Structure 1
């Protein structure tokens, strides 16, 4: 420092402190803005991740209405197959009859494959399985015993789940013991 600088410096000692305080204040503001920007950046990143997950979930279940319509078509095919099986003693065993029956089974199988491709699965409900209200709807009870009380007696209508979410519960008859 020159003597002149020293005189100017010593003549205004409070001014230097004010400048240092101003720099410190600006540094604090800068740090606050940086921290705020970093939080905002992290919030945006988290928002994007959450939104991506939400959109994935929406996409998983976007076809629900169409798949419910397909379920009704498969139900109709199953009724048609049952009618064919009941009529089998009456119908002729001609090659044409067998081809028609085979064709119906093939179409039903193709429909089930399409449904499976989009995440639709049958809910299994066989006689003797435990009744689970999350997957089964009891429509009636039938007489049972202590061993089969509360177990499925018969599946009346097949249930379906889409990506592990129940779309339609299996309608079942449940054994009820006479206690």
Structure 2
């Protein structure tokens, strides 16, 4: 026998009589199987925890944005109230100290304004927020839509006029503010 044959014989695990393996081999096999089951269980547990987090986030989104369609429809109602208010203001200019008091339409105008305010307050509780735009503000394409560029004394790229208000529901833009922007000279 040469040295290689002796080394190979030394490396083979000892066996019991009758071809049975040593108890240490069986123990290693069981430990390996245990570790596989434990790793699988830990993965399943982590998957379940992630599923719960994802489901909670989805439910929060449903609660937040579930009324989005209704809120969007109510924005046009607010627009109609704004038109009615501006029309009554044009028809019945505000009284000055020298003029006669406004006629009986004042009660109707005040009622329209109060109803509009009540609707807006209700929508605010549901997460609706008006996008604030002022003349002279820089144009922000993430919250505004430029419908026209006009010549103006304002610096280029600044707001000249808000044509239609914009609204967001929490962090989602429902309608961008439609504005006129000063153009480059």
Provide the TM-score with structure 2 as the length reference: 0.82
Give the length in aligned residue pairs. Answer: 165
| 1:131–1:151 contact (8 Å) kept in structure 2 | yes
Partner of 2:175: 168
CA distance in 2, matches of 1:157, 1:12: 93
Matched residue SS, 1:125: coil
Equivalent positions of 1:17-166 (< 5 A) are 17=22, 19-89=23-93, 93-94=102-103, 96-145=104-153, 148-166=155-173
CA distance in 1, matches of 2:84, 2:137: 27
Give the number of the structure whose residues are more often helix, by fraction: 1
CA distance in 1, matches of 2:163, 2:144: 11
The answer for unaligned runs of 5 or more in structure 2 is 1-15, 94-99
Provide the TM-score with structure 1 as the length reference: 0.84
The answer for unaligned runs of 5 or more in structure 1 is 1-10
